[in-house]
């Protein structure tokens, strides 16, 4: 049977957004645990299916992939204790919060990490280390035709367009690369991350699981390119 989200996933998150405090959350925790169990099961189903297309995910579990709902407020002026989104990140390359290539899926009651809409997903790498970023840029510089062929694939353009999702893009070509290189704009990104916003109606659709897999499969060539670029620094 195809895994499904709990139907109250988004309504619960919207209520939490209006009542982001421990008293409310603790009073509704049994319901949250039901929602979380369904999301964990949904994530495990995604992992099992995606191993058919990306064998680096073999052995990965939902426990390694689903983010906690509790916020780390130690260094933040915002002391609300809970996130108003649920999300997972599939990657065998490192912990969920490290800058490694993988596949992301998020359902949220409000904008988070610059993502708009209630349901976002994509692939690639977000916030890579300086060493990883340089390795990716070098690979793009040495293999521009291969990289462009990934971005120019019709299915890639359909879901992700022609720009990467990035917090900030450089104004100038990074040091060490010729400023007159015809593809120099590709080197200005600080993140090589794809992002697709699903229509809200998909959250309650029986086609949601298959649609996530369909979008993630389009990200596989990009992830493989990034994985290859980072091979030497991973060792």
Residue 4 lies in a domain: no
| pLDDT single digits (tens) 107-127 | 988 665 555 668 999 999 999
Residue 3 lies in a domain: no
| pLDDT single digits (tens) 136-152 | 999 999 999 999 999 99
| 217 contacts 53 by C-beta, under 8 angstroms | yes
DSSP SS3 for 52: coil
pLDDT confidence band for 235 (50 / 70 / 90): low
Residue 164 lies in a domain: yes
| 190 contacts 174 by C-beta, under 8 angstroms | no
Residue 1 lies in a domain: no
Domain count for the chain: 1
pLDDT of residue 80 exceeding 70, the answer is yes
Q: What is the pTM of this model?
A: 0.93
Residue 2 lies in a domain: no
In whole angstroms, give the CA distance from residue 28 to residue 135.
46
pLDDT of residue 73: 83
Strands (E), the chain: 85-90, 102-108, 119-125, 192-193, 196-197
pLDDT of residue 221 exceeding 80, the answer is yes
**Percent of residues, the chain, with pLDDT higher than 70:** 96
Query: Within 10 A of 53 (CB to CB), how many other CB atoms are there?
Result: 13
Residue 56 lies in a domain: yes
Residue 53 lies in a domain: yes
Residue 61: closest CA among 90, 32, 34, 95: 90
pLDDT of residue 137: 98
Range of the domain at 55: 9-234
pLDDT of residue 166: 87
């Amino acid at each position: 049977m195809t895994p499904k989200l709990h139907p109250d996933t988004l309504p619960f998150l919207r209520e939490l957004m209006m009542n982001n405090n421990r008293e409310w959350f603790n009073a509704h925790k049994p319901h949250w645990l039901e929602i979380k169990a369904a999301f964990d099961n949904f994530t495990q189903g995604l992992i099992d299916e995606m191993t058919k297309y990306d064998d680096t995910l073999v052995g990965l579990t939902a426990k390694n992939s689903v983010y906690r709902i509790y916020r780390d407020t130690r260094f933040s002026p915002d002391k609300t204790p809970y996130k108003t989104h649920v999300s997972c990140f599939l990657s065998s390359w490192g912990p969920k919060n490290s800058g490694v290539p993988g596949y992301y899926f998020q359902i949220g009651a409000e904008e988070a990490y610059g993502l708009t809409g209630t349901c976002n997903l994509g692939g690639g790498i977000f916030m890579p280390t300086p060493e990883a970023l340089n390795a990716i840029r070098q690979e793009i510089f040495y293999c521009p035709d291969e990289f462009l062929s990934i971005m120019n694939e019709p299915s890639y353009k359909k879901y992700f367009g022609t720009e990467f999702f990035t917090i900030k893009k450089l104004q100038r070509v990074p040091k060490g690369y010729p400023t007159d290189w015809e593809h120099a704009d590709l080197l200005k990104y600080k993140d090589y991350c794809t992002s697709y916003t699903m229509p809200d109606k998909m959250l309650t659709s029986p086609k949601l699981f298959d649609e996530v897999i369909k979008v993630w499969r389009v990200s596989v060539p990009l992830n493989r390119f990034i994985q290859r670029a980072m091979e030497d620094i991973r060792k």
